[in-house]
Amino acid sequence: MGEPVIQTDKLTRRFGDFVAVDALTFAVGRGEIFGFLGANGAGKTTAIRMLTGLLTPSTGSASVAGFDLYTESEKVKRNIGYMSQRFSLYDDLTVKENIRFFAGIYGLSDTAIKEKSAKLLKKLDLQHAANARLRSLPLGWKQKLAFSVAILHEPKIVFLDEPTGGVDPVTRRRFWDMIYEASERGITVFVTTHYMDEAEYCDRISIMVDGRVAALDTPEALKRQYRAESMNEVFLHLARAKPEAG
Amino acid sequence: MNSFRGFLRKEFLHIFRDRRTAVILFGMPLIQLLIFGFAIRNEIQDVKLGVYDKSRDAVTRAIISKFASSGYFILSREVHSEREIEEAFSSGSITEVLVFEPDFARRLQRDGRGEVQVITDGSNPNLSRIVSGYTAAVLHDYQESAVPGGGREAGVVAVPLMLFNPELKSVDLFVPGLMALILMLVSALMTSISITREKESGTMEVLLVSSLRPAQIIIGKVVPYFLLSFINVVTIIAVASLVFGVPCRGSLLLLLLESLLFIVTALSLGIFISSVTASQQVAMMIALAGLLLPTILLSGFIFPVASMPLPLRMISNIIPARWYLIIVRGIMLKGAGFSYIWKETLVLVAMSTVLMAASVKKFKIRLQ
Amino acid sequence: MKAEKQAVQLFALAKRFGKVEALQEMTLSVGEGELFGFIGADGAGKTTLLRILATLLLPGGGRAEVLGLDVVASYRDIRRRIGYMPGRFSLYQDLTVEENLRFFATIFGTTIAENYDLIRDIYIQLEPFKERRAGKLSGGMKQKLALCCALVHRPELLLLDEPTTGVDAVSRAEFWQMLGRLKEQGITTLVSTPYMDEAALCDRIAFMQEGRLLAVETPDAITTLFRKPLFAIRARQTWPLITWLRSTPDAHSVYAFGRAVHYTDNRLSASRDELLLSLQRQGFTDVEVQQIKPGIEDTFMALMEPERGERHG
């Protein structure tokens, strides 16, 4: 696996009596594409919020990008990237302004920003749209841009929360091309998705059920273990074991 | 009809589920009334008065002593030059200066006209306005007592409002304005928000597809806020009368009926806003900027319409609260009957009709 | 299909919003009792189409009939007879499960009891939470409640706009089981979805892209529209495999599918053995090459105009 970039030990978060995340223990290696699956309400969002330093754990310990989640959450934030379907870029700013703004947040210098945005626009083939409002771009492009911006500052890990919703299968695969590339460059990719075929693109997968990790392995091994044809079957088998409690 | 009842039921559930809003809606009128009522009352006592008497005769002395005994003014210093006036203001030792012209008594005798210059601190226009109103009233009092029926033009502009509020109670003037404001807020703002919320959440799509007719949806949205507003009117009048002793000199029934009319106008406005906007945020912005601020600033609530520049005076004509204020002040403070306020009533009726017609027409049976 | 009565018919139906052509002259008919799926990404025109059928939008050109009635002229009649579930589950978040359902029953002039048999299977799962506010339900539960609300007046036609978007795989599977049971009750259902795997559960499907119908067929027959030989290729390292395949001049399409790569070749003569050999020569290990039958997703991607998909995302 290489050196772990995320390492958690019995990480737990309670809300009142409700245990949203229960003793989460796992490690994710450098450059790994790690699929983080679970039904709605299984605790995925809470777990991601803790790992990105947005929510303090109740008990347990974890280090992300080599920093302690409790004492160095600011450093954690500086060394990760984050993109979600719900929040990524500003619709009313232009492509260029978006890049500038997010690069600025992560503390890149003006010259670095200039250089990087030019490179990025070229790579995404977006030069002609650099001054277009983001709103006018097709969703697929927005997603690619959001991902590129999330890794502009070369973070050790990028968290992707359902990054590919609503696009056609070809565009979805183009997006995964970018994930593979990032992983080749040594960036760890931590991704959640409702598309079970995407789960199979991951190096390893964890499936959360009711706040616990019910399974964690490579897609191949999981399919073998549950004698399933596809990840969808594995997922249904595990997540259905307990009736959903609303 | 059954489906309409179901719709109404749901609207009330929304209102009572949202405790915070419900508390604000019912609590706000009370709290505002109490705050403004007490705050304004305190502000007008102990006005520090400076006097620059260039005449020093019996009449000026009499006037000054009238001020001193009025209970609202404290004679805090005598001024001897123009320069001193400025000094006194900047040091904050006085709030108002009265300047009597030389030969005040003689001129008053000879020309029927003596000039008192009333200088107030313009940096606090509100206070300044209230204070000069008081001053005018005290001067008027003096004239009345000294020369009953005489001294018609004593070089003092009497503020007409004071005529019917001789005890100088601001809270009396404040209550009608507050009623207008609260009714605007509850009726217009809340209806527009409640309709646009359905648009935002997508439930409007389902309502449209149901067998409810547009008129039923509109009426169903309006009825709850109509009732709420009415409860608020009654609360304000009751508290104003019980706590502050604000009288209702005219017919209480007429006052309630006119208030109902104003509520209808406000509700029509709310529906109209919601029929032209798509999101709660926009509806709220329009309601706040387009309704509440004008209701406060342009209706005559705080600044008298008569003293506004012409363009603003013209704009004030399309503000429903302006007409409602005249009506309420008429009934409550002057004891006016319907024959005095039928014109204003007609304006409100016309406004409501036009707005209702426009919004029913604008209300879409489809999404676009 | 033609002999049966038609539940929905489109005749060169078109709609534009400003410069965007949301629907381009669509002609289609859906028979009574069918479970019909519109498959496509955001911006394909699915929502616009369903809204026109729900009489919420006016057609820009052409016309459409629902249950034999024109969507413009007879909108009131249509509204009474259809059930419509908009894209975001349109529930009142501050009302409880039961209050929501009762409300939607009353505005259609009916009661929960009257049509309980139709929704019982679904509502039974919600009943333990009937005092809970809709806003506090999970995505899957909201989806079930929204379906109940759309069904409570026993509509003849059900229009569901992306009912499974953002809902987890378990809830999605359960939802489709419910749709299957409704079909047994004779309810015609039009459902839109961005998930290719749900297409197989429909009687017939329409592939949509940017306001156009790419194909309309049964799930089984639609894959015959895929004409080239299709290979599933596996190797130890997937990403290098993809990049290398793309760099070869003969590659027509290279798409990741799970752990495998689905590959078509520009040459008709391409054979399994030849591919295997050239891959091994490149130094790929654990190589497997299989010729496979194309699936629904393969077909969709093949039918999309490739540069179009690239350009417009």
Contact check, Cβ <8 Å, B211/C51: no
CA geometry: angle B228, B230, B232, nearest 5 deg: 75
Q: C298 lies in a domain?
A: no
Residue of C nearest to B18 (CA): C94
C-beta atoms of C79 and B206 within 8 A: no
The domain spanning residue C249 has which CATH number? Answer: 3.30.70.100
Report the distance separating Cα A5 and Cα A8, nearest Å: 10
Q: What pLDDT is attached to residue B149?
A: 52
Rounded Cα–Cα distance for residues C53 and C70 (Å): 9
Give the model's pLDDT for residue B170: 57
Number of domains in chain C: 2
Q: What is the DSSP letter of C5?
A: P
Same domain assignment for residues C11 and C130? yes
Please give the residue that has the higher pLDDT: either A67 or B23.
A67
Instruction: Decide if C313 and A180 are in contact by the 8 Å CB cutoff.
Output: no
pLDDT recorded at residue B101: 80
- The better pLDDT of the pair B292, C91 is held by C91
Torsion over CA: C201, C207, C210, C211 (sign): negative
* Whether B9 and C91 lie within 8 Å, measured CB to CB: no
The answer on B314 and B218 residing in a single domain is yes
pLDDT value at C170 more than 60: yes
Residue of chain C with shortest Cα separation from A176: C256
More confident residue, B336 or C307: B336
Would you say residue B191 has pLDDT above 90?
Answer: no
Which one of C188, C222, C256 terminates a domain? C222
Together in a domain, B32 and B64:
no
For domain A1-79+155-246, the CATH architecture is 3-Layer(aba) Sandwich (3.40)
- Same domain, yes or no: B347 and B236: yes
CA distance C132 to chain B (A): 13
Domain of residue B284, residue span: 2-39+169-362
Please determine, for residue B165, whether its predicted confidence score (pLDDT) is greater than 60.
no
Are residue B150 and residue B35 in the same domain, yes or no? no
- Residue C157 in domain: yes
The verdict on residue B318 lying in a domain is yes
pLDDT given at position B198: 87
Q: Is residue B334 in a domain?
A: yes
Subunit contact B201:C90, Cβ cutoff 8 A: yes
> Hey, which chains touch C, using 3+ CB pairs under 8 Å?
A, B
Chain C residues touching B365 at Cβ < 8 A = 75
Report the C-alpha gap between A24 and A30 in whole angstroms: 19
Q: CB distance C88–B7 less than 8 Å?
A: no
> What is the structure's pLDDT at C222?
94
Is the domain of C140 the same as that of C250? no
The nearest CA of chain C is from the CA of A68 a distance in Å of 32
* Weakly modelled stretches of chain A, pLDDT under 70: 1-2, 86-87, 241-246
Read out DSSP for B55-80? S-SHHHHHHHHHHHTSSSEEEEEE--
Q: Closest Cα of chain C to B220: distance in Å?
A: 12
- Looking at CA atoms only, how far is residue A230 from chain C in angstroms? 9
Q: Taking CB atoms and an 8 Å limit, are C313 and A140 in contact across chains?
A: yes
Q: Residue B93 domain-assigned?
A: yes
At least 3 CB pairs under 8 A between chains C and B: yes
**B211, C106: Cβ pair inside 8 Å?**
no
- A91-95: long-range contacts at Cβ-Cβ below 8 A with a sequence spacing of 24 or more? A91/A133, A91/A134, A91/A135, A92/A133, A92/A134, A92/A135, A93/A133, A93/A134, A94/A130, A94/A131, A94/A132, A94/A133, A94/A134, A95/A121, A95/A126, A95/A129, A95/A130, A95/A131, A95/A132, A95/A134, A95/A137, A95/A145
Task: Report the residue of chain C nearest B214, measured CA to CA.
Answer: C76
| DSSP code of residue C96 | B
pLDDT digit string (tens) for B272-314? 888 888 888 888 888 888 888 888 888 887 777 777 888 888 8
Cα–Cα dist C216/C27, whole Å: 10
Let me know whether B194 and B309 are in one domain: yes
- pLDDT 10s digits, A3-56: 799 999 999 999 999 999 999 999 999 999 999 998 888 888 899 999 998 889
- Is residue B212 scored above 50 in pLDDT? yes
The confidence score (pLDDT) of residue B49 equals 86
B156 & B288 share domain: no
pLDDT over 50 at C311, yes or no: no
Of A165, A184, A240, the CB nearest to C170: A240
Q: To probe the interface with C, which of B16, B195, B206 has the most C CB atoms within 10 Å?
A: B206
Can you read off the two tokens belonging to residue B21? 């809003």
Same domain, C256 and C125: no
Q: Which residues of C touch B2 (CB under 8 A)?
A: 106, 109
Long-range contacts (CB closer than 8 Å, 24 or more residues apart) made by C210-214: C210/C21, C210/C24, C210/C43, C210/C44, C210/C45, C210/C308, C210/C312, C211/C15, C211/C21, C211/C22, C211/C23, C211/C24, C211/C26, C211/C44, C211/C45, C211/C48, C212/C24, C212/C26, C212/C45, C213/C26, C213/C28, C214/C300, C214/C303, C214/C304
Query: Cβ separation of B209 and C54 shorter than 8 Å?
Result: yes
- Residue B9 to residue C82, Cβ atoms within 8 A: no
Which one is predicted more confidently, B237 or C9? C9
Option in C89, C95, C108 nearest B3 (CB)? C108
In B, minimum Cα distance to C79 occurs at: B209
In a domain, C177, yes or no: yes
Mean pLDDT of B57-76: 85
Among the candidates C187, C222, C257, a domain finishes at C222
The residue of chain A with its CA nearest to that of C132 is A246
C92 to B10: CB separation less than 8 angstroms, yes or no: yes
Nearest CA in chain C to B5: C106
Do B218 and B312 belong to one domain? yes
**B17 contacts in chain C (CB < 8 Å):** 94-95
**B312 in helix, strand or coil?**
helix
| Closest chain A C-alpha to C65 CA, distance in angstroms | 28
Question: Edge-to-edge strand order for the sheet containing A59-64?
Answer: A18-29, A4-15, A59-64, A67-68
CATH number at residue B135: 3.40.1710.10
Q: Does B317 touch chain C (CB under 8 A)?
A: no
Whether residue B367 is contained in a domain is answered as: no
Average pLDDT score, chain C: 90
Q: Does C237 lie in the same domain as C191?
A: no
**A235:C169 CB<8 A:** yes
CA distance B265 to chain C (A): 28
Residues in chain C with CB shorter than 8 Å from the CB of B18 are: 94
**Structural domain count of chain B:** 2
Q: What is the pLDDT of residue B99?
A: 84
The last residue of one of the domains, among B95, B128, B163, is B163
Domain boundary among B128, B163, B198: B163
Q: Do C107 and B5 touch (CB under 8 A)?
A: no
Confidence class for position B148, pLDDT limits 50, 70, 90: low
Q: For the residues C92-105, what does the mean pLDDT come to?
A: 93
Q: Is C212 exposed, middle or buried (0-12, 13-18, 19+ CB in 10 A)?
A: middle
* CA-based nearest residue in chain C for residue A183: C239
Both B271 and B224 in a single domain?
A: yes
> pLDDT tier at B235 (50, 70, 90 boundaries)?
confident
pLDDT at position C96: 95
- For B12, the closest chain C residue by CA position comes to C95
Res B121 pLDDT > 60: yes
Q: Are residues B28 and B54 in the same domain?
A: no
Nearest one of B30, B66, B73 to B49, comparing CA atoms: B73
CATH of the domain at C21: 3.40.50.300
Q: Taking CB atoms and an 8 Å limit, are C313 and A196 in contact across chains? A: no
The pLDDT assigned to B368 comes to: 62
Q: Are residues B264 and B357 in the same domain?
A: yes
Least CA distance to A143: which residue of chain C? C313
pLDDT band, residue B43 (cuts 50/70/90): low
d(CA A132, CA A121): 12
pLDDT value of position B126: 63
In a domain, C300, yes or no: no
Q: How far is CA B51 from the centre of its chain?
A: 33
Indicate if C234 and C177 belong to the same structural domain. no
Q: What is the pLDDT of residues C263-277, one digit of tens each?
A: 999 887 788 999 999
The C-side interface with B (CB below 8 A) comprises: 51, 54-58, 75-76, 79-80, 82, 84-95, 99, 102-109, 149-150
Task: Provide CB contacts within 8 A for B81, sequence distance 6+.
Answer: B52
More confident residue, A36 or B212: A36
CA distance A146 to B261: 54
CB contact under 8 A, A173 and C255: yes
Angstroms from C3 CA to nearest CA on chain B: 30
CB contact under 8 A, A170 and C195: no
The least confident of A96-110, B87-101, C201-215 is: B87-101
| Domain boundary, last residue among B114, B134, B163 | B163
Q: List the domain range (segments joined by +) for residue C257.
A: 227-293
Q: Which chains touch A (3 or more CB pairs under 8 A)?
A: C
| Cβ pair A170:C304 closer than 8 A | yes
User: Is B368 among the domain residues?
Assistant: no
Domain assignments of chain A as residue spans, ordered by start: 1-79+155-246, 89-154
Chain B (210-239) residues lying within 8 Å, Cβ to Cβ, of chain C: 210-212
Residue B175 has pLDDT above 80, yes or no: no
Q: Encode pLDDT of C131-161 as tens digits.
A: 999 999 888 889 999 999 999 999 999 999 9
Of B6, B366, B368, the CB nearest to C107: B6
C1 in a structural domain: no
Which of these three, C161, C193, C222, is where a domain ends?
C222
